[in-house]
A and B are shown apart, each in its own frame.
Chain A
Amino acid sequence: MTDVTATATVEKAMVGRSLWGDAWARLKANRAAMVSLIYLVIVTIVCIVGPYLVPHEYTTIYSDYVRTAPSLSSYPQPEMIEGAVTEVVKRMRVDMEEWHQDGDRIFMTLTSSKKIDERNVRYVDRSDTFDDAKIEEVSEDGMRMVMSASIKLQYFLFGTDNVGRDLLSRTLMAGRISLAIGLLAGLVAVAIGVVYGAAAGFLGGKTDEIMMRIVDVLYSLPFIFFVIMLVVFFGRNFVLMFLAVGAVLWLDMARIVRGQALSLRRQEYVAAAEALGVGQRGILLRHVIPNLLGPVVIYMTLLIPQVIILESFLSFLGLGVQEPMTSWGVLISAGAKNIGTANWLLFFPAFFLVSTLFALNFIGDGLRDALDPKDR
């Protein structure tokens, strides 16, 4: 610190390390935050790409596999085949003499008092368990028939839900929605909040008073009431969710940014800029906003989990996204109803939601430590 020879102590380095560079270095040193960041990136990629790779559509209903428990091995399991065969034969309204399995194909010998219609094979194909149904042989009177079909092997890693939809593809799809709502509503809230708060704090005086009183009035509106009103007037839709959530959460942002702007306004470098003759716009753009960004970034990482929870809450109440579209909140809501009989319906979406929220909070904490000017 002692600059006895002021000129000599500055090394000939051309590039300095900015505060952002410092913060990044400090964040990288924070193990929890880095692991969370990597985890979050992976979850995001999986949620975006995953639904294309999973063989099941999130809307497809497998009526044979209602509430199937999660398993790493393939379905149908041996004991399930008999049930499926009986079911198919019942649909065909014929009698079954015997059935047996040979490798990955089953063979059924069917009899009837009437001639058996060959189109009956479609009942086999319609079943979720079998595929590639063929007639192997038909007796001369047509009242006896041997059909064969291959067993369709399916994987339900996360199990299936109450109507037989694959939970893995639904969870990933829900992740897309939840993350998108979190990010977009977060951005909406931040954009409105930063502009509004910075304007109020920077202009100060009466303008500030009036703008902040408006915020107070909006604060006092009950949130649920507000959302129900929106739903009643505009119907349920996806965009509305962003608006509703963003419209409520920008209030906090505006207050935080206003406070920051107020204190920045009193900084000596702002006074110095004024003394240089820099206009309001220049001060706002060059001095106030860059110095605001730290707290804004921190708050945003803490805001996203808040948005995701809010969306889940709305969906839980039935005001959020609609079937067959889904979100983590919707899945958890459904899972909670089946906690006794099919706990995986709660476990998987809840795991994803909770771990994502944890990761976001760790990143938020890490950023706060990294950007905190106290260390300098």
Chain B
Amino acid sequence: MSEGDPILAVKDLRVRFRTLDGAVEAVKGISLHVNAGETVAIVGESGSGKSQTMMAAMRLLASNGEATGVVDYRGRNLLTLGKSDINRIRGRKISMIFQEPMTSLDPLYSIGSQLMEPIRRHRGLSGAEAEKEAVRLLDLVHIPHPQRRMKAYPHELSGGQRQRVMIAMALANDPDILIADEPTTALDVTIQAQILVLLAELQERLGMAIVFITHDLGIVRRFADRVYVMQSGVVVENGDTETIFSASQHPYTRMLLAAEPTGRKAPPPASAPILLEGRKVEVVFRIGGGFLAGQPIVIRAVDRISVALKKGQTIGIVGESGSGKSTLGRALLKLLPSEGVIRFENIDISKADRQHMTPLRRELQVVFQDPFGSLSPRMTVGQIVTEGLLVHEPSLSGKERDRRAVEALKEVGLDPNARNRYPHEFSGGQRQRIAIARAMILKPKVMVLDEPTSALDRSVQKQIVELLRSLQRSHDLSYLFISHDLAVVRAMADYIIVMKSGEIVEEGPTEAIFDHPRDQYTQALMAAAIDSTRFRQVARVAG
């Protein structure tokens, strides 16, 4: 087969799901093709049907889904193949890697045995041969000491290493096509970059085609040859990466391209009073221990950190998962027991108990990362938004509370008529607006924003960032903005703290940090997030 022939061609694929509210069409007749050895990206926001397209092609739809159309792989229609035939292709000639490396591996088996299983099944190798092959694969994906790692269990590996093992498993049978469904979304930025370099390098060496499903245009630009842009189940635009990025035709593509949050925040005047201050804040977790259990494991999640948040200021706290940035935010709000001094408006609150904290709670609010988990599913939006009023203004009548709820919902740009609906009837961005309304209704002075945009699509992120900025301007709020996403932090914060394993590695005004990162870790972070070199070139140099 010559380079350039389509090996996978999808024609007029439709995917429908039967639900209680009738049939929902997730993919509405799309066509695309993948040539041998090329990298195709399918881009779109959540709900655009990009994952379902590939799931349907691989016959992995949920039980209430059905697919029609043609998925042609080397002259065979995958949608009509028998079960045993599809199994011979799936996992062997076309393999997949998924977003969540934590759950894609079985925690009960060593990675060696999980790797060997598909090799033995599909290639019929003996145990010893398969083991040799598995070690070779682990070496291929750059797992250090592959021989020793064979006996390791998934929980002993980091997220990035697990994703490498997943890639090794996908490559075990020398596939023609590797489908990567958001393979780096759950990983930290620096590790994301490593995985992408690895994928590019492996493609260079093994020559398989890669279908890359992602919402991240940055990755697409650096990684893909051709791009399909999907919106609500249809391909709205496709073409060469260069063309799409330089001369996009469809407004949706342009909207996605412009979705990076822009703008900078000016620092507050030097005379602004310090609102919330933490001195040598320390949070220690003890795991296990106690009667008969021996010594507990001590984890210093936050190690003597000092922060001072001025009125009107936004401090961005940046770091990878496990760096202690969320813990610091919660400790400053006294949601976690901590050591050290915490002062709010010059009153020491580090020893305040629950009762003394209650009146202060309305000044210190928080918005969490997960808009799906932070709203109680059994309460209406009105009840959720007004819950704080029940505590802080118990004398309010029901009518008055309702009026305040309407006001708060309007302020965050939601239709107040929706206040009797339940959270599951809203999209992610709308839910995050509800969470913000819940905090804003109390007219707080300080808000801790714990990754408020991480679970959202880029275009929605931008809207939320703009909402937060306008709220800050009109109410003179101070934000503690916790995020791993440097683009968002850059748009939100005027001061940045970079954290690593519970300690501050660098801090300073936003521009200074972005323009001249001094610390090596900060530099790595910046390089991974901002660098626009193409991974393939990186890989070529590395290879």
Taking a contact as CB atoms under 8 Å apart, the answer to whether A268 and B422 are in contact is: no
Q: In the bound complex, what is the Cα–Cα distance between A282 and B379 (angstroms)?
A: 13
Near A by CB (< 8 A), chain B positions 349-399 give 354, 357-359, 361-362, 364-366, 368-370, 373-381, 387-388, 390-392
Q: Tell me whether B457 is interfacial, beta carbon within 8 Å.
A: yes
Q: Tell me whether B505 is interfacial, beta carbon within 8 Å.
A: no
Question: Nearest-CB distance from B116 to chain A (Å)?
Answer: 32
Question: Nearest-CB distance from A213 to chain B (Å)?
Answer: 11
Contact of B388 among A15, A19, A277, A291 (CB under 8 A): A277
Q: Name the residue on A nearest B425 (C-beta).
A: A16
Q: Note all chain A residues with C-beta closer than 8 A to B357.
A: 277
Q: Tell me whether A287 is interfacial, beta carbon within 8 Å.
A: yes
Q: Note all chain B residues with C-beta closer than 8 A to A14.
A: 417, 420
Q: Note all chain B residues with C-beta closer than 8 A to A279.
A: 354, 358, 391
Contact of A13 among B373, B374, B421 (CB under 8 A): B421
Contact of A273 among B387, B427, B463 (CB under 8 A): B387
Question: Nearest-CB distance from B416 to chain A (Å)?
Answer: 9
Q: In the bound complex, what is the Cα–Cα distance between A276 and B20 (angstroms)?
A: 36
Q: Note all chain B residues with C-beta closer than 8 A to A25.
A: 20
Taking a contact as CB atoms under 8 Å apart, the answer to whether B427 and A268 are in contact is: no
Q: Tell me whether A17 is interfacial, beta carbon within 8 Å.
A: yes
The count of residues in chain B whose C-beta lies closer than 8 Å to any C-beta of chain A is: 60
Which of A2-10, A80-88, A171-179, A295-303 forms part of the interface with chain B?
A2-10
Near A by CB (< 8 A), chain B positions 392-437 give 392, 413-415, 417-418, 420-422, 424-430, 433, 435
A3 with B429: in contact, given A10-B417, A272-B366, A276-B361 (CB under 8 Å)? Answer: yes
Q: Note all chain B residues with C-beta closer than 8 A to A4.
A: 255, 459
Contact of B430 among A6, A272, A282 (CB under 8 A): A6
Taking a contact as CB atoms under 8 Å apart, the answer to whether A2 and B20 are in contact is: no
Q: Note all chain A residues with C-beta closer than 8 A to B422.
A: 16-19
Q: In the bound complex, what is the Cα–Cα distance between A274 and B375 (angstroms)?
A: 13
The count of residues in chain A whose C-beta lies closer than 8 Å to any C-beta of chain B is: 40
23 A–B contacts, CB within 8 A, in A order: A1-B427, A1-B457, A2-B457, A2-B460, A3-B460, A9-B427, A13-B421, A16-B421, A17-B422, A268-B369, A271-B368, A271-B374, A272-B368, A272-B375, A273-B387, A275-B361, A275-B364, A277-B358, A282-B390, A282-B391, A287-B376, A290-B376, A291-B376
The 8 A-B pairs at the shortest CB distance, nearest first, are namely: A16-B421, A277-B361, A1-B47, A268-B374, A276-B388, A268-B373, A10-B415, A290-B378
Binding site for A on B (CB under 8 A): 20, 45-48, 231-232, 255, 330, 333, 335, 354, 357-359, 361-362, 364-366, 368-370, 373-381, 387-388, 390-392, 413-415, 417-418, 420-422, 424-430, 433, 435, 438, 442, 457, 459-460, 463
Binding site for B on A (CB under 8 A): 1-4, 6-7, 9-10, 12-20, 22, 25-26, 29, 267-269, 271-279, 282, 286-287, 290-291, 373, 376
